[in-house]
Amino acid sequence: MISLTINGKAAEVDADPSTPLLWVLRDHLHLTGTKYGCGMAQCGACTVHLDGQAIRSCVTPVSMASGKQVTTIEGLAEQALGKKVQQAWQEVDVPQCGYCQSGQIMAATALLQQNPKPDDAQITAAMEGNLCRCGTYNRIRAAIHKAAELQGEAK
């Protein structure tokens, strides 16, 4: 059994330690907001936070998450910043099909955590690993600026 802390709650899973965290979240815990897109850290749809850092859960063995804080899209609203990012995403009306957006939001939140007011180049650098086939990129950029603004106002 592997002990995990996911969105602040303890969980025990019976999985091979080499199983990617993504599939433990989805198949074992039915936390399906974290998406499978490529399985090789190419698209970012599976992005979650491990101790606040954005990681690709499709290539992260669940054993590496043991003893650390895992945050998924389902738990993001419990954080003030995460809530602001989700709010910004709604104000800009970013999603189309929506499949990549959990990963986009998790990556954006991790960026804003480290850099409360990123410029365009910093946004590009941080978000380059997240694909969106609907091409919502310009709105993603706008929403990150919006979230920075909302968070700035809140302080």
Q: Alpha carbon of 18 to those of 49, 61, 119: distances in Å?
A: 19, 5, 38
3-state secondary structure the chain: CEEEEECCEEEEECCCCCCEHHHHHHHHCCCCCCCCCCCCCCCCCCEEEECCEEEECCCCEHHHHCCCEEECHHHHHHCHHHHHHHHHHHHHCCCCCCCCHHHHHHHHHHHHHHCCCCCHHHHHHHHCCCCCCCCCHHHHHHHHHHHHHHHHHHC
Tell me which of 57, 141, 147, 151 binds another protein, using CB under 8 A. 141
* Residue 153 Cβ vs another protein, minimum distance, rounded to whole Å: 19
Q: Indicate whether 145 belongs to the interface with another protein (CB under 8 A).
A: no
How near is the Cβ of 82 to another protein at its closest, in Å?
Answer: 10
Q: Which stretch binds another protein (CB under 8 A): 12-20, 63-71, 110-118, 146-154?
A: 12-20
Residue 86 interacts with another protein (CB under 8 A)? yes
Assess 99 for contact with another protein (CB under 8 A): yes
Residue 102 vs 151, nearer CB to another protein = 102
5 binding another protein? (CB under 8 A): no
- Report the C-alpha gap between 101 and 60 in whole angstroms: 20
Q: Report 40-79 residues binding another protein (CB under 8 A).
A: 40, 42-43, 45, 72-74, 76-77
Least spacing, CB of residue 28 vs another protein, in Å: 7
Residues that bind another protein (CB under 8 A): 6, 9, 11-16, 19-20, 23, 26-40, 42-43, 45, 72-74, 76-77, 86, 89-90, 93-102, 105, 123-124, 127-141
